[in-house]
Amino acid sequence: MLTPGEFVGRVAEWVAAFNRGSLDLPDGILHKDAVFRLNGRAYDDTFGRPTTDPLVRLVARGPGGYRLLVKALQYTLTAPEIALRNFEIRHGLATGHIDLTGRLRDTSEAWVSNADVAMTVDIDGHVTELAIQMDTDRVARLQQAREA
């Protein structure tokens, strides 16, 4: 069982890896079935197939889903970076704020956005759910840049 301080340290390692452009994760930080949500909608719900489908679970959850999402963000933003602020964990819920920066691939304009983050953490220190809440206009702009 990780202490809250150890968990925060592992998340800091995770952020540092992301900012280096790495798809690596600290060992065991994500549960193999971790769910990713953006504005309440689970990533595996966007596939148009049952969430019980093994292929959907393989590519949309856990480390595989994380890597797929990060690659999409790296395609959308040149050299994306995040800064995590006011991050804390209490009773299995880790919360904070993220500042996301980079350059939009379609126009090369500088991108700055912020979001709230919440992570549900099991007793062993694995993230079982990662939820991001971001302004819908900002999400739409990211989608536009990705599709260009």
Alpha helices by DSSP H, listed for the chain, are 4-19, 54-60, 62-76, 136-147
Instruction: Determine phi and psi for 97, rounding to 5 degrees.
Output: -130, 145
> What pTM was computed for the model?
0.93
- Each residue's pLDDT expressed in tens, for the chain with a length of 148 residues: 789 999 999 999 999 999 999 999 999 999 999 999 999 999 999 988 888 888 888 899 999 999 999 999 999 999 999 999 999 999 999 999 999 999 999 999 999 999 999 999 999 999 999 999 999 999 999 999 999 8
**Residues 112, 101 contacting (CB under 8 angstroms):** yes
Cα 143 from Cα 73, distance rounded (Å): 10
